[in-house]
Amino acid sequence: MGLRKWLMKQHWRIVQVRGIWNLFYGILLLAIAYFAYIPYFADMGAMGPFAFAGMMFFVFLILGYIYDRVLVMWSPQQEIVRERDPYQYVPQPRDHIFWFPIFSGLLEATEGLAKQFDIDTTTIDETREYYAALEQLKPERITDIDVALELRKDFLEKHRFKDIIKEDV
């Protein structure tokens, strides 16, 4: 395993352990708050809350070990699967079936409102052209991935979010 992947895995583990530490401290604070009201803790003295919090901490460490090592819920292979997914760059079939018709309807409604209020519809037309170009792309054609990336880059250069909202001051 390369250094970069090893560091990434260690970072992921630290982030996961941070949640466990928060749980440990939460359990400890609750145990301390209810120290006098629970007979088991009262019989153990001042070590009662710490013993209970430590026991719960180790239970969650064991669960984390099972999650990471036994069930292998996270692995470098998952990263490779995601990188090889051609639909990361070109529209998926559900986009053609479901999302593009919805976007088209929303653009039509927005254009109708814009024309009613005499607002420039250039951005709407360019967005419609962008989606029409995306709709032609297929993952089977390798060159379409490059075309999709170029289309996205050009579209985002023209239409940044900060440029959409213009304040009338």
Per-residue pLDDT tens digits for 5-58: 888 888 888 887 787 778 778 888 877 887 777 777 778 887 878 877 777 778
pTM: 0.46
Say if 169 falls within a structural domain. Answer: no
* Domain identity same for 73 and 138: no
Say if 168 falls within a structural domain. Answer: no
Of 36, 85, 34, 27, nearest in space to 59 by CA:
27
Could you tell me the residue range of the domain that residue 37 belongs to?
Answer: 3-83
pLDDT digits (tens, 9 = 90+) for 54-82: 777 787 778 878 887 777 766 666 666 66
**CA atoms of 139 and 34, how far apart (whole Å):** 60
Of 28, 20, 26, 90, nearest in space to 61 by CA:
20
* Domain identity same for 12 and 67: yes
**CA atoms of 38 and 48, how far apart (whole Å):** 10
What is the number of domains present in the chain?
2
* Domain identity same for 7 and 69: yes
